Amino acid sequence: MINVVLFGPPGSGKGTQAVKMAEKYDLLHISTGDLFRNAIKNETEMGLKAKAFMDKGNLVPDEVTIGMMNAVIEENPGVHGIIFDGFPRTVTQAEALDAFLNARNTPISRMLALDVTDEELVKRLLNRGKDSGRPDDKDVEIIQNRIDVYNAQTLPVAGFYKEQNKLKHIKGEGTIEEIFGRICAELDSAV
């Protein structure tokens, strides 16, 4: 079983790469952002709660996010492994994930961190906002807030996995295939 945290700022290409990884390595792809967007579309209670935070580019509270993640993992027993895309985004979430996975003897194998410059991120997100239909990709101020939130609340999560010798940096610029090749090289050495 291989469990991978795909880490990086908004716009670093996590979603694109996670889909390719899931296909090649037969892994379950869990994107907390996609789960929240679905909940909003289906107008669930959780969706309504999450929307207020997402629209501003802030994080949805830990207890909501952790509860949702634990439920999804429990609903999918017997998978080859999981790619965590957009989770954990706080050290509290990382601690909760470790506790949950370690209790099942299926710990995180690697954190792969996609490195992209801030300038490139804003460019990519505004570009994506033209046709993604995501309100949080359309407004430069909300994008900047998401990057600020990442730097303040999410970046410490890299330190959490670095202490466990699980962090690997991947250059997140270049073509999709070039970046995927770097990810595969890391994963192939991990399995």
**Residue 5 β-bridge partners:** 84, 111
C-beta of 38 vs 164, nearer to ligand AMP: 38
Report helix, strand and coil shares of the chain as percent, to nearest 5: 60, 10, 30
Selecting among 14, 37, 110, 182, the annotated active-site residue is 14
Active site residue 14: yes
Active site residue 134: yes
Selecting among 20, 49, 56, 134, the annotated active-site residue is 134
Active site residue 89: yes
For residue 172, the 8-state DSSP code is -
C-beta of 76 vs 191, nearer to ligand AMP: 76
Q: How far apart are CB 39 and ligand AMP at their closest, in Å?
A: 10
Q: How many residues does the chain have?
A: 191
Q: Which residue carries 């909940």 as its tokens?
A: 39
Q: How far apart are CB 144 and ligand AMP at their closest, in Å?
A: 12
Q: Would you tell me which residues interact with ligand AMP (CB under 6 A)?
A: 10, 32-33, 36, 53-54, 57-60, 65, 86-87, 89, 93, 136, 146
Selecting among 49, 128, 162, 166, the annotated active-site residue is 128
Q: Tell me the C-alpha distance between 154 and 159, whole Å.
A: 10
Tokens at 181, concatenated: 């090749």
**Residues 125 and 33: beta-carbon distance below 8 Å:** no
Active site residue 128: yes
Which residues does the annotation mark as catalytic? 14, 89, 128, 134, 146
